[in-house]
Amino acid sequence: MAAAAAATAAAAASIRERQTVALKRMLNFNVPHIKNSTGEPVWKVLIYDRFGQDIISPLLSVKELRDMGITLHLLLHSDRDPIPDVPAVYFVMPTEENIDRMCQDLRNQLYESYYLNFISAISRSKLEDIANAALAASAVTQVAKVFDQYLNFITLEDDMFVLCNQNKELVSYRAINRPDITDTEMETVMDTIVDSLFCFFVTLGAVPIIRCSRGTAAEMVAVKLDKKLRENLRDARNSLFTGDTLGAGQFSFQRPLLVLVDRNIDLATPLHHTWTYQALVHDVLDFHLNRVNLEESSGVENSPAGARPKRKNKKSYDLTPVDKFWQKHKGSPFPEVAESVQQELESYRAQEDEVKRLKSIMGLEGEDEGAISMLSDNTAKLTSAVSSLPELLEKKRLIDLHTNVATAVLEHIKVNLTFSPPQYDLHLHRVLYFVRCFSIHYLIESPL
């Protein structure tokens, strides 16, 4: 019963929660992180490459990193000064360039100790290169731990992830379907995809049932992934799917189903741009790894030399699962989002006015019993209002955030779109969608 309960609990956890837990364990020197621990964290430095940065940024904020003891986070290939009395946690891909730079750090004695974490599994030859560099630099005792983390994917939502962000054009639809692609290049693309999927299921803690379309790149991925999973399961002592940290997910009868299909099966969907909030933010704004970058509207400033355009200031906003408004309205039609922002603003103003009213009542003068009774009744209300002040401030922040984002979307729509929103004529929109699908299908099936 205990194993079944553990398996059920493990199945309930989203992939976002699992990857976040894995990252926090890594930042805690690969020891499980205790959420309510009262002790001071060990202060440390985080060193990552661009791949590691893309994995961490959608999941952990700067505040959360600080709570984990990260005082400084730097790119591996940036210019870094020595901090000899602080441990360093590395989170990088096991590439030749990264290994060379890590060996250089060992030779330069940059940090007190080194906790080396690789996003994907490191090969034996590269591990030997690190060992030789540590030996030559007399830093063997400083290399505290070396771990393969198997976190080579980027989680954007509770149950949505992408394989990579850096060099994503190398595993894109175009890369796979280039007429001049060589067998070696195709193998490299397939291996990259398989490695990310394997890392995903290691983090999920479950062995999938794989189904794929035959005669396509999807079948190549399925065969390679199946082989990699079987090889890992064959070695029971070192299998990545039998550890206690994964919640005994491999013993559950509810295994995940992995369906691999080729993009050519459904070319219409990428061309179907909907009128929902999330889709519009993705299509018309600079939306990247759950962060949207906006430029303030340009104006004109006066100067001795005459009027000139103001310098544009960039602002960034995080649209994460923690954002309740985003979670509730990201799938809503855009006109409804504008109404919801207005409703939230009116609700906030009503709460703000109530707090102001209570504050003015608390300043009542006089000794009459009515005033004292009213003061006593409203003290509890004011106390409750003050305790909810952080929530009220967060609500105001989200209102300002989505007001700015929605305004930016609307400005793009006014400038770039000349047709009516599809939601205003659902029947016409549906007809045009099917015509588009039929046209694409006809072009694919017709011989040239």
Please, are residues 401 and 340 in contact by the beta-carbon 8 Å criterion?
no
Task: Pick left, alpha or beta for residue 277 (phi over 0 → left; psi -120 to 50 → alpha; otherwise beta).
Answer: alpha
CATH no. of 167-265: 3.40.50.1910
∠ CA 28-31-32, nearest 5°, is 95
Class of domain 277-298+308-436: alpha beta
Q: Please determine, for residue 243, whether its predicted confidence score (pLDDT) is greater than 50.
A: yes
**pLDDT value at position 432?**
53
CATH 3.90.830.10 occupies which residues in the chain?
A: 277-298+308-436
Confidence of residue 372 (pLDDT cuts 50, 70, 90): very low
Q: What is the token pair recorded at 121?
A: 């599994």
Per-residue exposure over 411-434, b if at least 16 CB sit within 10 Å of its own CB, e if not = eeeeeeeeeeebeeeeeebeeeee
Q: Is the dihedral of CA 118, 123, 128, 133 positive or negative?
A: negative
For 167-205, how does the pLDDT look when each residue is reduced to its tens digit (9 = 90+)? 778 888 888 888 899 999 999 999 999 999 999 999 999
Please, are residues 149 and 118 in contact by the beta-carbon 8 Å criterion?
yes
Q: What percent of the chain has pLDDT over 70?
A: 76
Residue 230, CA atoms < 13 Å, CB-side half-sphere: 8
Q: Which residues, 6 or more positions from 181, have their beta carbon under 8 angstroms from its beta carbon?
A: 175
When comparing pLDDT for 38 and 409, which is higher?
Answer: 409
CATH 3.40.50.2060 occupies which residues in the chain?
A: 13-148
Q: What is the token pair recorded at 363?
A: 């300043």
For 246-272, how does the pLDDT look when each residue is reduced to its tens digit (9 = 90+)? 444 455 568 899 999 988 888 888 888
Q: Please determine, for residue 388, whether its predicted confidence score (pLDDT) is greater than 80.
A: no
Q: Is the dihedral of CA 391, 33, 66, 79 positive or negative?
A: negative
Instruction: Tell me the helix, strand and coil percentages in the chain, rounded to 5.
Output: 55, 15, 30
Q: Please determine, for residue 438, whether its predicted confidence score (pLDDT) is greater than 70.
A: no
**Tally of CB atoms within 10 A around 39:** 6
Lowest mean pLDDT among 2-6, 94-98, 283-287, 297-301: 2-6
Q: What is the token pair recorded at 335?
A: 């006109």
Q: Is the dihedral of CA 39, 40, 42, 47 positive or negative?
A: positive
When comparing pLDDT for 442 and 283, which is higher?
Answer: 283
Q: What is the token pair recorded at 383?
A: 């106390």
CATH 3.40.50.1910 occupies which residues in the chain?
A: 167-265
DSSP 330-342: TTSBHHHHHHHHH
**pLDDT value at position 24?**
96
Give the closest residue to 320 by CA, choosing from 294, 286, 287. Answer: 287
Task: Give the right CATH number for 13-148 from 3.30.450.20, 3.40.50.2060, 3.60.21.10, 3.20.20.70.
Answer: 3.40.50.2060
Helix (H) or strand (E) holding 195: helix 183-204
Q: Please determine, for residue 68, whether its predicted confidence score (pLDDT) is greater than 70.
A: yes
